[in-house]
Amino acid sequence: MKTYSIAVINGDGIGQEIVPLAAQVMQVAASKHGIQMQTTNFPYGAGYYMEHSDFMSPEGLGALKKFDAILFGAVGLPEVDDTLPFKMFTNKVRTAFKQYVNYRPVRLLDGVQSPLRNKTQEDIDFIVVRENNEGEFVQNGRQMYPDESYGFATDTSLFTRVGIERIAHYSFQLARKRRSKVTNVTKSNTMINTLAYWDRVIQEVADQYPDVAYHKMYIDAATANFVLHPEYFDVVLTTNMLGDILSDLGGAIMGSLGFGPSGNINPEKTFPSMFEPIHGSAPDIAGKGIANPIGQIWSVAIMLEHLGEKEAATSIISAINQTTAEGILTSDVGGKSSTREVAQAIIDRI
């Protein structure tokens, strides 16, 4: 029996509810397909920070590095400065483990009506591939004399050839497995240095994939087309910040951010990848049993596929679609089922 070691980090807020349920789904799917998932829990997050003044222990990265993958919920609490979770946990893991691909599917589930009138499952089925280690989120800047009339602040984006090439190659290779279309979402008409360079390097990579249709689209048009013409898209390749925003819009056109899964992926598997839903910790609804667990559970399926267990991943996706088709939904999409009831329905259908 093939065995994988999985680090499980519930995080904060609704993460404490949905991650354990997603782990149960993972175990059921694994058992059905003859694989074993050995899990180890870590208490990291904003709650951990309130006790220890850090989001993880000093040996945290070293401990996590030993696992095949990381299943993560969400991080953040109202009592903790909201600039810290990204800096001290999420980005720390993503950069230390070279998780340079942020993979976010946007797909309308069975039985769910999109907020977009007259758009169907055939129209809403694409993947946002967000560059995850560079770009606008490198936190390369400073504030000087912030309380003075002459105060100022800077943030400097960072784009490297190697960073652009690797995310571009990943996107074109992914498109070959889908509908052979890549859309580069950019803003190079105003960001005339960084994103012009981004476009140039992506075009060089695109030339190596003549079998894949390549288009460039400015973020303004892409935002409108996500709503008006989602059918235009197959693989959306974009930068760290633009991808962060666009993938939330993608979750919205699926019907709820609660549906949205993601993977922070190290394609070479030299480090563990981390899988999480696109939504936040939502402490305002934590403990009420109303959080949508599907994004977290779908993230498990992406994790299993990354590990090479495609059949187990497919069984989870199929069970999710059977569940939503039968109207077993949480209140964010007009359903009446609890968090646990939705997760249990998925388990039953696996």
User: DSSP secondary structure string, 305-350?
Assistant: HHTT-HHHHHHHHHHHHHHHHTT---GGGT----HHHHHHHHHHH-
pLDDT of 7: 98
Phi/psi-derived region of residue 136, left when phi > 0, alpha when psi is between -120 and 50, beta in every other case = alpha
pLDDT of 1: 85
User: DSSP secondary structure string, 23-42?
Assistant: HHHHHHHHHHTTEEEEEEEE
Contact 262, 275 (CB under 8 A): yes
pLDDT of 189: 97
Its CATH architecture, for the domain 114-254, is 3-Layer(aba) Sandwich (3.40)
- Give exposure, 114-136, as e/b (b: 16+ Cβ within 10 Å): bebeebeeebbbbbbbbbbbbbb
Spatial CA neighbour of 253 closest among 102, 125, 343, 74: 125
Token pair for 312: 């187990």
The rounded radius of gyration (Å) of the Cα atoms in the chain is 20
- Across the chain, which has 350 residues, the per-10-residue mean pLDDT values are 96 97 98 97 97 96 98 96 93 97 97 95 97 93 95 96 98 98 98 97 98 98 97 97 95 96 97 96 95 98 98 98 98 96 98
Residue 264: count other Cβ atoms within 10 Å of its Cβ. Answer: 25
pLDDT of 10: 97
Which fold, 1-105+263-350? Isopropylmalate Dehydrogenase (3.40.718)
Distance CA 240, CA 86 (A): 13
Contact 97, 206 (CB under 8 A): no
Contact 315, 350 (CB under 8 A): yes
Spatial CA neighbour of 49 closest among 16, 11, 22, 19: 11
Distance CA 48, CA 44 (A): 5
DSSP 8-state symbol, 160: -
Q: Which amino acid is at 185?
A: V
User: DSSP secondary structure string, 225-275?
Assistant: HHHH-GGG-SEEEE-HHHHHHHHHHHHHHHT-GGG-EEEEE-TT-SS-EEE
Contact 261, 299 (CB under 8 A): yes
Contact 71, 9 (CB under 8 A): yes
Q: Angle at the Cα of 290 (from 289 to 292), degrees rounded to 5?
A: 115
pLDDT of 291: 97
Q: Parallel, antiparallel, or unpaired for β 141-144 and 152-155?
A: antiparallel
pLDDT of 179: 98
Distance CA 204, CA 166 (A): 12
| Residue boundaries of the structural domains of the chain | 1-105+263-350, 114-254
Distance CA 340, CA 346 (A): 10
Orientation of helix 294-306 relative to helix 339-349, angle to 10°: 40
Contact 310, 29 (CB under 8 A): no
Do 1-105+263-350 and 114-254 show the same overall fold?
Answer: yes
